[in-house]
Amino acid sequence: MKRRDFLRSAAHAGGLSAAASIGLLGSLQAQAQSAPGYKALVCVFLYGGNDGLNTIIPRDATRYAQYAAVRAKLAVAQSSLVALGSDYGLHPSLAPLGPLWAAGALAPVFNVGPLAVPLTKADLKTKTLPDNLFSHSDQQTLWECAGRSVLARTGWGGRLAAQAGVRPVLALGSAGRFGSSDTGAALALPGPGDDFSPSGWFGGPNASRRAALETMARANYSNRLMQAYGSIQKSALDTSATLGPVLKTTPASGSTDAIDIAFGNLSGATDTPLAKQLYQVAKLIRYGATNGSGRQVFVVAQGGYDTHADQLTRHPKLLAELGAALAAFYDATVRIGQASAVTSFTMSDFGRTFLPNASSGTDHAWGNHHLVIGGAVAGGKTYGRYPDLVLGGTDDVGVESWERQGRWIPASSVEQYAATLARWFGLSAAQIAAALPGLANFPLNDLGFIKP
């Protein structure tokens, strides 16, 4: 085997990366000393731009009539909505989340998006705007990093984690820049049944390669670069040995394990990539909460939300997967006694246009509605301001007739959304300011959707 091929294999073995240099095993011990109790933040990124306007819909007669008149054939039937009180309803595909609302564990947050400063329609030509609005990759970066610049290197998840002394962010799906900080990137973890250890690459007849890797990682080097390399590899090997067995387990037939029961043994509605990611997160939360981890940050992902066409077929299927996975995950946190210690929240590239396009779909927009779930959530009510459902109105960026499509100017910023979560996570005002420097541009730094 050529040296460069060996090193390439070693870099992939068990997720051996620079992110692992800080050592999850060591961080579990450090967090136990630095933070009393256990808490976990779980980011659920909906890649492609979820149509928030068909996710959370007004139920009152006046606004539903406005909605239905514009949405036309894309409108969700009023009678099918999952009631969130008398004013709003969820798409029927999210029916599994109805009991969470009733239990006070679900809070919709309206019209959040990237902002540099608070904006009104009158400000659009005079105040600073975020970079490259309506672009998938750029808006993903702005959501992941919080701020106005697409050149940001670090994500707000990584920065919050660093301020809290949590290293690294754990990624079961694509992390983008969300989990990056000045000290490393997110640590990518495998799905149920997969190996998170060098045995997956160096087992069996390749055991001698594993032995060589161990020797390289644990040798005493005088060269600083080699010292760093050895530290990274040793930490990753130790981490994989610790978490590998946790990650590899899958539901057994007739299992009575609390997490397996919550996820229906990953069958039926939970036999999906997103549910499997959250199944892994639930196992890691149980492990972390019982082994002295003070705080953890996770990120999972679901793709497919770029519904420019055939939205009536595609979007309900995506939401059905989302609703089943989120409900199962919350149920798992209840069963393992960690519901109040875990807060999940959605993010997405952007919202979609209120006005449908000619392909039975919707196009790229700006502000969007999101869901926050957990036992610590001040649920059973909504937060933020729902936009005025008028094309070309005060919340629509469009001025000329051709651009009046219902691209809502966000009422709250990503920083405000993140700061609310950071406060619950246990960060001080100074730590929140350090992790979210743009927050100083906004008068309100807590949107209130989590209990004091």
Using the predicted structure, report yes or no on whether residue 386 has a pLDDT greater than 80: yes
Neighbours of 6 (CB within 10 A): 14
Indicate where the chain has its CATH 3.40.720 domain(s).
38-193+256-441
* Per-residue model confidence (pLDDT) at position 203: 57
Contact of 219 with 239, CB cutoff 8 Å: no
For the structural domain made of 38-193+256-441, what CATH number should be given?
3.40.720
CB within 8 A of 320, min separation 6: which ones?
A: 93, 94, 269
Q: Quick one: pLDDT band at residue 263, thresholds 50, 70, 90?
A: very high
* Per-residue model confidence (pLDDT) at position 200: 56
Strands (E), 51-139: 56-58, 82-84, 88-90, 106-113
Across the chain, what does the average pLDDT equal? 89
Burial of 238 (0-12, 13-18, 19+ CB in 10 A): middle
| Pairing mode of beta strands 342-348, 187-188 | unpaired
Give CA separation, 218 vs 53, 227, 337, in Å: 54, 9, 39
Give CA separation, 71 vs 91, 112, 195, 299, 434, in Å: 14, 21, 46, 32, 42
Order of strands, sheet of 368-374, starting from the edge strand that comes earlier in the sequence: 187-188, 170-171, 295-302, 39-46, 342-348, 368-374, 106-113, 412-413
Angle between the 156-164 and 414-425 helix axes, to the nearest 10 degrees? 20
| Closest alpha carbon to 418 in 113, 39, 171 | 113
User: Which amino acid type is present at position 328?
Assistant: A
* Per-residue model confidence (pLDDT) at position 241: 75
CB within 8 A of 397, min separation 6: which ones?
A: 121, 124, 366, 403, 407, 408, 409
* Per-residue model confidence (pLDDT) at position 23: 36
Q: Is omega for the bond preceding 168 within 30 degrees of 0, making it cis?
A: yes
- Per-residue pLDDT tens over the stretch 237-262: 777 778 888 999 999 988 999 999 99
- Per-residue pLDDT tens over the stretch 37-86: 899 999 999 999 999 999 999 999 999 999 999 999 999 999 999 999 99
What is the distance in angstroms between the CA of the first residue and the CA of the last residue of the chain?
Answer: 58
Using the predicted structure, report yes or no on whether residue 204 has a pLDDT greater than 70: no
Q: What percent of the chain has pLDDT over 90?
A: 77
* Per-residue model confidence (pLDDT) at position 293: 76
Tokens coding 245: 């067995």
3-class DSSP state of 419: helix
- Per-residue pLDDT tens over the stretch 402-449: 999 999 999 999 999 999 999 999 999 999 999 999 999 999 999 999
Which is more confidently placed, 123 or 35? 123
| Closest alpha carbon to 332 in 258, 247, 265 | 258
Q: Quick one: pLDDT band at residue 228, thresholds 50, 70, 90?
A: confident
Which helix (DSSP H) or strand (DSSP E) does residue 206 occupy?
none
Cα–Cα distance measured from residue 276 to residue 281, given in angstroms and rounded to the nearest whole number: 9
Structure-token match 């390289």, residue found: 216
Which is more confidently placed, 294 or 136? 136
Cα–Cα distance measured from residue 240 to residue 244, given in angstroms and rounded to the nearest whole number: 5
Using the predicted structure, report yes or no on whether residue 14 has a pLDDT greater than 60: no
For 166-178, letters b (16+ CB in 10 Å) and e give bbbbbbbbbbbbb
